[in-house]
Amino acid sequence: CSNYSPITSVTAAASTGQKIVLSGTTAGNANRLLLYSPVSDSAIALDGDIGEIEIYHLSYSESSNKVYFDGLRMADNQYVLGEVDLSTNSAEVVSTTPNKVTDVVAL
């Protein structure tokens, strides 16, 4: 990831065809969500507006061109469900719960 803080420890990944969505931590222990292109060896951040989330699962839906995720939001210790629209590279949290989600399945 030459143009953004690289993920040094990957916790989840989802292939989107030519690119890969990666979640994990940087060398400074910050949780990140990146869209990585192996062809250009570059990445863009997908987590700019959602805050720091420790992501547990990623699932890609080709029909919607979205990546769905669940994880723990660090700011308030809430479990969240969210989605990344790969057409706009924008992420949003769509639901919060005090209970851990056990699995995410893309429809």
Q: What are the pLDDT digits (tens) for 48-91?
A: 778 899 999 999 999 999 999 999 999 999 999 999 999 999 99
DSSP codes of every residue in 73-106: ETTTTEEEEEEEETTTTEEEEEEEESS-------
Q: pLDDT > 70: what percent of the chain?
A: 87
Q: In this predicted model, which residue has the larger pLDDT, 98 or 84?
A: 84
**What is the pLDDT averaged over residues 26-38?**
92
Query: Residue 84 pairs with which residues in a beta bridge?
Result: 67, 91
The pLDDT, as a whole number, for residue 103 is 52
Assigned token pair, 59: 């699932």
> How deeply is 105 buried, as exposed, middle or buried, from its count of CB atoms within 10 A (0-12, 13-18, 19+)?
exposed
Residue 25 has pLDDT above 80, yes or no: yes
